[in-house]
Chain A
Amino acid sequence: MASNVSLRVAKLAVLSESPADEAAFGILIEAVLERPFVRVRANLRARGWPSVLQVLPAVIRHLHFNTDAQGLVVVVDSDDSVVHTEAHDAPDYFHPQCRMCRLRATFRQTVKRLPPARGRERVLRGVGVAVPAVEAWYLCGRDARVTEEAWASGQARGALPYTRGQLKERIYGTDRPSLEYALRRAVAEVERFRRDTRRLEHDFPGFASLAHDLRSWTLG
Chain B
Amino acid sequence: MIASIAFHNFKALRSASVRLERFNLLIGPNGSGKSSLIEGIMRMGALARLPPSEAVPDGEGGGDRAEVRFRLTPPYAAWEVVMRCATRDHCDALRWIHHAGPENPVEREALRERLRSVRRYEFEQAAMVRGGAGLPDAELAPDGANLAAVIHHRRVAHPDAYERWRRDVLRALPEYDAVSAETDAEGSAVIRLRLVEEAEVITHQDLSHGSLCALAIFCLATDPSPPAVLCIEDLDRGLHPRLLREARDALYRLSHPGNGEARPGHSQIVATTHSPYLLDLFREHPEEVVIAEKHGRASTFRRLCDCPDLAEMMAGVSLGDLWYSGVIGGVPEEPETGGAEVRTAPGGGSGS
A55 in complex: contacting residue of B317, B348, B349, CB < 8 Å: B317
Interface window among B99-107, B241-249, B336-344: B336-344
Q: Are B337 and A46 in contact (CB under 8 A)?
A: no
Given contacts A23-B337, A43-B333, 20 further A-B contacts (CB under 8 A): A9-B345, A9-B348, A11-B345, A19-B334, A23-B340, A26-B339, A27-B340, A34-B351, A35-B349, A36-B349, A44-B326, A45-B326, A46-B321, A46-B324, A47-B321, A47-B324, A54-B317, A55-B321, A55-B322, A66-B308
**Chain A to chain B: the 5 pairs with minimum beta-carbon distance, closest first:** A58-B313, A35-B351, A62-B327, A55-B325, A54-B317
What residues of chain A lie closer than 8 Å to B335, measured between beta carbons?
A: 42
**In the complex, residue of chain A having the shortest beta-carbon distance to the beta carbon of B324:** A47
| Distance of A33 Cα from B350 Cα, bound (Å) | 9
B350: A residues at CB distance < 8 A = 2, 7, 34-35
| Residue contacts A-B, CB under 8 angstroms, 18 given | A7-B349, A7-B350, A26-B337, A26-B339, A27-B340, A35-B351, A36-B346, A38-B338, A42-B336, A43-B331, A45-B325, A46-B321, A51-B317, A55-B321, A57-B316, A58-B327, A62-B309, A65-B309
Q: Which residues of A contact B312 (CB under 8 A)?
A: 57-58, 61
Residue from the list A35, A40, A42 in contact with B352, Cβ < 8 A = A35
Q: How far is it, in angstroms, between the C-alpha of A30 and the C-alpha of B72 when the chains are bound?
A: 54
B185 close to chain A: CB less than 8 A = no
B314 at the interface (CB under 8 A from A): yes
- Classify the secondary structure of B's interface with A: loop
Partner of A54, one of B321, B331, B334: B321
Docked pose: A61 CA to B308 CA in angstroms = 10
What distance in Å separates the Cβ of A2 from its nearest Cβ neighbour in chain B? 4
Which residues does chain B contribute within 8 Å of A42, judged by CB atoms?
334-337
Task: Tell me, in angstroms, the Cα distance from A3 to B318 when the chains sit together.
Answer: 43
**A residues whose Cβ falls under 8 Å from a Cβ of B:** 2-3, 7-9, 11, 15, 19, 23-24, 26-27, 29-30, 33-47, 51, 54-55, 57-59, 61-62, 65-66, 187
| Residues of A close to B351: CB separation below 8 A | 2, 30, 33-36
| CB-nearest residue of chain A to B335 | A42
The residue on A at minimum CB distance from B336 is A42
Q: Is the CB of B321 within 8 A of A27?
A: no
CB pair B325 A9 closer than 8 Å: no
Chain B interface residue count, CB cutoff 8 Å, equals 33
* B315 interface residue per 8 A CB criterion: yes
B159 lies within 8 A of chain A by Cβ: no
Give Cα distance in the complex from A38 to B322, angstroms. 24
CB-nearest residue of chain B to A191: B340
Give chain B's interface residues, CB within 8 Å of chain A.
308-309, 312-318, 321-322, 324-327, 331-340, 343, 345-346, 348-352
Contacts of B325 in A (CB 8 A): 15, 44-46, 51, 55, 58-59
User: What is the CB-to-nearest-CB distance from B352 to chain A, in angstroms, rounded to a whole number?
Assistant: 4
* Contact residues in A for B336 (Cβ distance below 8 Å): 38-40, 42
Given the complex of chains A and B, what is the CA–CA distance between A8 and B349 in angstroms? 7
Cβ of A219 to closest chain B Cβ, rounded Å? 12
Q: Decide: B332 and A43 in contact? CB cutoff 8 A.
A: yes
Inter-chain CA distance A8–B351, complex, in Å, is 11
Q: How far is the CA of A37 from the CA of B351 in the complex (A)?
A: 10
A45-B340 contact in complex given A33-B351, A54-B318, A57-B315, C-beta closer than 8 Å: no
Partner of B339, one of A27, A51, A55: A27
Best-surrounded residue of A15, A37, A41, A62 (most CB of chain B within 10 A): A62
CA distance A137 to B327 in the complex (A): 28
Contacts of A19 in B (CB 8 A): 334
| Residue among A9, A23, A59 making CB contact with B346, cutoff 8 Å | A9
A129→B312 CA distance, assembly (Å): 26
Residue ID in chain B nearest A55 by CB atoms: B325
**Shortest CB–CB separation between residue A113 and chain B, in angstroms?**
9
- Write out the residue numbers on chain B whose beta carbons fall within 8 Å of the beta carbon of A29: 339
**Which residue from chain A places its CB closest to the CB of B309 in the assembled complex?**
A61
Task: Choose from A3, A24, A27, A44 the contact partner of B327 (Cβ within 8 Å).
Answer: A44
Central interface residue in B331, B333, B339, by most chain A CB within 10 Å: B339
Q: Which listed residue, B315, B318, B333, B339, touches A30 by the CB 8 Å rule?
A: B339
Complex: A35 Cα to B339 Cα, angstroms: 10
B334: chain A residues at CB < 8 Å are: 19, 42-43
Which chain B residues border A66 with CB–CB below 8 Å? Answer: 308
Residue in contact with B338 in the complex, picked from A8, A37, A43, A61, CB distance below 8 Å: A37
